[in-house]
Amino acid sequence: MKRVILAIGISILIVLSILAVAVASESTVVSEFSGESQYGGSLILNRSGWRSAPEDPQTVYIEIVAPNVRLKKAIREALTNVTRAHNLKPVYVNGSIEDYDLKGRVVVVYLPHAFSRDDLLSRECGVSGILYYSYPGDAKTFVDIMMKRNVPEETADTLEKLALELKFSSVRRLNEEHILNQTVSVAYWWNLKARVGKLKDGDPYKMIAEEIAAQLDNFLKSS
């Protein structure tokens, strides 16, 4: 009987060891809930009174709102690589993004929630938030909506609602101000998590940043 128990115990230890090695060797990026919404194109009208924006399409004004300095640094590096790959000049905003309204393209990364964990087998980082991209540089719509928001607790539903509101409000404003270039894109994530096992090289902060940058890359390709 003792031998049977010992054999079972050894088998359990072997299985647990295999599982531990597997977890420590994995590298994954997953999101519980995500989506995107886009409105693209430039109007072609035969009447006067309409104008093109932004003033300088080759400049991208970028604002990153994130509670973690390390995460913010990783996102900045990833966005710089993507914008420069499209022959664009990234300019990071320290003050209000509204000061650059319609002056260049606008990108805002808004991540109100972020967490990180470091345990025996893996390192993990997670965020929830949105990526806002406006080709004509509509910063005013973003600032106006964020100032009026009154959300006690952010959820997947509130982030999706924010993304749609940003898109529709921006298009409405661009029409009201007779601006021809109206491309606006928004992506949103709820619990976007990156995990790297201790036996594998990698940085979960960079993995999150690269996921966000990849989405911006898609927006830039379609604008």
| Residue 43 vs residues 139, 165, 217, 220: alpha-carbon distances, Å | 20, 21, 23, 18
Q: Is 5 a member of any domain?
A: no
- The pLDDT, as a whole number, for residue 45 is 61
Q: Is 22 a member of any domain?
A: no
Q: Is 1 a member of any domain?
A: no
- The pLDDT, as a whole number, for residue 49 is 81
- The pLDDT, as a whole number, for residue 44 is 63
| Residue 107 vs residues 64, 168, 201, 206: alpha-carbon distances, Å | 8, 17, 30, 19
Phi, psi dihedral angles at 180 (to 5 degrees): -70, -50
Q: Is 13 a member of any domain?
A: no
Q: Cα(216)–Cα(189) distance, rounded to whole angstroms?
A: 13
Q: Is 154 a member of any domain?
A: yes
Q: Is 20 a member of any domain?
A: no
Q: Is 136 a member of any domain?
A: yes
Domain housing 192: 27-221
The count of domains in the chain is 1
Q: Cα(215)–Cα(221) distance, rounded to whole angstroms?
A: 10
- The pLDDT, as a whole number, for residue 9 is 46
pTM for this entry: 0.85
Mean pLDDT by 10 residues, the chain (223 residues): 47 37 54 88 68 95 94 96 98 95 98 82 88 98 95 92 96 93 95 81 89 97 87
Q: Cα(113)–Cα(166) distance, rounded to whole angstroms?
A: 19
Q: Is 163 a member of any domain?
A: yes
Q: Cα(212)–Cα(129) distance, rounded to whole angstroms?
A: 10
Q: Which residue has the tokens 């128990």?
A: 5
